[in-house]
Amino acid sequence: MGSTASAKNGTWRNWGGNVSARPAREVTPASVEELAEAVRRAAEDRLPVKAVGTGHSFTSIAATDGVLIRPQLLTGIRDIDRTAGTVTVEAGTPLKRLNVALAREGLSLTNMGDIMEQTVSGAISTGTHGTGRDSASIAAQIRALELVTADGSVLHCSEKENPDVFAAARIGLGALGIVTAVTFAVEPMFLLTAREEPMPFDRVLAEFDELHAENEHFEFYWFPHTGNTNTKRNNRSAGPERPVPPLKGWFEDEFLSNGVFQVANWVGRALPATIPPIAQISSKALSARTYTDISYKVFTSPRRVRFVEMEYAIPREALAGTLKELKAMVDRSPLRVSFPVEVRTAPADDITLSTASGRDSAYIAVHMFRGTPYQAYFTAAERIFTAHEGRPHWGKIHTRDAEYFSGVYPRFAEFTALRDRLDPERRFRNDYLRRVLGA
Ligand SMILES: Cc1cc2nc3c(=O)[nH]c(=O)nc-3n(C[C@H](O)[C@H](O)[C@H](O)COP(=O)(O)OP(=O)(O)OC[C@H]3O[C@@H](n4cnc5c(N)ncnc54)[C@H](O)[C@@H]3O)c2cc1C
């Protein structure tokens, strides 16, 4: 599993290496009953409790100095209901295991993020999303949830059962209870044709509305210090499968996108002045390509170069203006940014604290190579995003607090009222939740 948590000296660390914690104790429950018992015991000892996934969040949302609950023994598919078109999965299942297990059954999720290392519960709890014109985040594909709440009881929710809990708990920030099982809507496995193509920055922005409207999944990467982007359009295909040939795939996805990119980042970190010329070269290194493959293989790709990230959702209509401001800021600053800026979209959804709650959204993500100072870049970017009523990804670096969130989420008070009811003693507290939820 991708978690970097270390048992040796009792210190837990996230994937980005920017968050660590020393839990009082660790538990690896093998059943819902054992997990509920761990929560009850923590309450007796007056300790907070936090379930972790694979530590892929860049914020301290998963950090705890209390009882850390590990997901490893709560994995696998619990039930497949072909009539309802749903699959119920244990909450600790890594997305990559879920994808493979579903494919074996001829089934698939509708949309995915960029990677599949995370656990199901970790991914949904922060609102993990990919890009989509009609299909939204992973949490938006949930049909029912099972949770262990602060008193150690098991709570089920769906649109029909405890609908107020269902509205919020699909993206629960780990604040409402410990998710033990997730029921997803699934569909017959499908193929996607990916078209990757370099395009000038100005043209992507000028044609963004058409590119978004004409493609089921459109995204692009802008390379700072250049006017270049790489666009990606994924659309459903009747086949035949035409995957990237293994050697070409290795060269482009491993050697160029990970190996050479890693070296370029090392050089850039040591000699920042080399970053703009390297960006000019690397933004042109990947040529256009088209391939057709099983959906999850097209949605996701390996990310081996470690980085830290900030990502904000803004109203979709504000995208072009916001990106132009971001580019102008980078151009006139002494910043040297070696990582591309990723742009994606999601349709409005109905989840209380989803970054796309009630509004069609565009996502802008800024990254910095691990070990490079990122504060100046992220602070300047965040100033631009918040001026457009941006909502930060719950699992990616930001500096916002409850007061800010109550302004950008019309249903913020609904979430905190539910939390007051389900967890009045704040069994699932940590410093991050205190900041973003206000108590
Ligand atoms: C390389 C990389 C690529 C990424 N790509 C994307 C992307 O494409 N799109 C995107 O939106 N995000 C992306 N992310 C962010 C990532 O998907 C989220 O941060 C996600 O929450 C991480 O899942 P995790 O399993 O590692 O959970 P963790 O980070 O370990 O935990 C996240 C939260 O989930 C809670 N949690 C975990 N298990 C449970 C449970 N059983 N019950 C209740 N709460 C629980 C934790 O307490 C914590 O609050 C990426 C991150 C990295 C490092």
Q: Best substitution site from 13, 15, 121, 422 to test ligand 1's pocket, by max atoms within 8 Å of Cβ?
A: 121
The pLDDT of 177-199, averaged and rounded, is: 97
The pLDDT of 78-99, averaged and rounded, is: 98
Tell me the pTM.
0.96
> Residue 3 C-alpha to ligand 1 middle, in angstroms?
11
The rounded percent of the chain whose pLDDT value lies above 70 is: 97
Q: Are 99 and 208 in contact (CB under 8 A)?
A: no
| Ligand 1 atom with minimal separation from the 124 CA | 21
pLDDT at 360 over 50: yes
Q: Could you give the maximum distance between any two Cα atoms of the chain, in Å?
A: 61
- Which residue's C-alpha comes closest to atom 33 of ligand 1? 122
Q: Please give the pLDDT value at position 266.
A: 83
- Which tokens belong to 221? 């990467």
- Which tokens belong to 215? 């493609």
Q: Are 200 and 220 in contact (CB under 8 A)?
A: no
- Which residue's C-alpha comes closest to atom 36 of ligand 1? 122
Q: Are 360 and 316 in contact (CB under 8 A)?
A: yes
The pLDDT of 378-393, averaged and rounded, is: 98
The pLDDT of 70-82, averaged and rounded, is: 97
Reduced to 3 states (helix: H, G, I; strand: E, B; else coil), residue 234 is strand
Alpha helices for 271-411 (secondary structure H): 275-285, 295-299, 319-332, 375-386, 402-408
Q: Please give the pLDDT value at position 57.
A: 98
- Which residue's C-alpha comes closest to atom 51 of ligand 1? 56
Closest residue by Cα to residue 225 from 305, 302, 338, 125: 338
What pairs with residue 185 in β-bridges? 86
pLDDT at 3 over 70: no
Question: Residue 8: which pLDDT band, with cuts at 50, 70 and 90?
Answer: low
Separation of alpha carbons 314 and 2, rounded Å: 30
Reduced to 3 states (helix: H, G, I; strand: E, B; else coil), residue 81 is strand
> Residue 95 C-alpha to ligand 1 middle, in angstroms?
11
> Residue 18 C-alpha to ligand 1 middle, in angstroms?
15
Q: What's the pLDDT tens digit per position in 285-298?
A: 777 999 999 999 99
As for ligand 1, residues whose beta carbon falls within 6 Å of it are 15, 50-57, 61-62, 91, 113-115, 118-119, 121-123, 125-126, 128-130, 173-174, 178-179, 303, 393, 395
Closest residue by Cα to residue 14 from 122, 121, 89: 122
Helix and strand numbers, DSSP H then E, in the chain? 14, 20
pLDDT at 62 over 50: yes
Separation of alpha carbons 117 and 296, rounded Å: 12
- Which tokens belong to 226? 């250049």
Phi, psi of 86 (to 5 degrees): -130, 155
Mean pLDDT of the chain, nearest integer: 94
Separation of alpha carbons 289 and 257, rounded Å: 14
Which segment of 66-70, 245-249, 272-276 scores lowest on mean pLDDT? Answer: 245-249
Q: What's the pLDDT tens digit per position in 428-438?
A: 999 999 999 99
Name every residue whose Cβ is closer than 8 Å to that of residue 271 and which is 6 or more positions away in sequence.
Answer: none
What letter does residue 401 receive in the DSSP assignment? Answer: -
Q: What's the pLDDT tens digit per position in 24-40?
A: 999 999 999 999 999 99
Its sign, for the CA torsion 51, 57, 61, 65, is: positive
Q: Please give the pLDDT value at position 4.
A: 42
Separation of alpha carbons 419 and 424, rounded Å: 7
Question: Residue 281: which pLDDT band, with cuts at 50, 70 and 90?
Answer: confident
Q: What's the pLDDT tens digit per position in 244-269?
A: 877 777 667 776 677 778 888 788 88
Separation of alpha carbons 432 and 384, rounded Å: 23
Cis-peptide, bond into residue 240, ω within 30° of zero: yes
Say if strands 187-188 and 107-108 run parallel, antiparallel, or are unpaired. Answer: antiparallel
pLDDT at 5 over 80: no
Separation of alpha carbons 346 and 360, rounded Å: 6
The rounded percent of the chain whose pLDDT value lies above 90 is: 85
**Residue with structure tokens 């990606």?**
232
pLDDT at 347 over 80: yes
- Which residue's C-alpha comes closest to atom 13 of ligand 1? 128
- Which residue's C-alpha comes closest to atom 31 of ligand 1? 122
Closest residue by Cα to residue 172 from 94, 74, 61: 61
Which segment of 9-13, 61-65, 234-238 scores lowest on mean pLDDT? Answer: 9-13
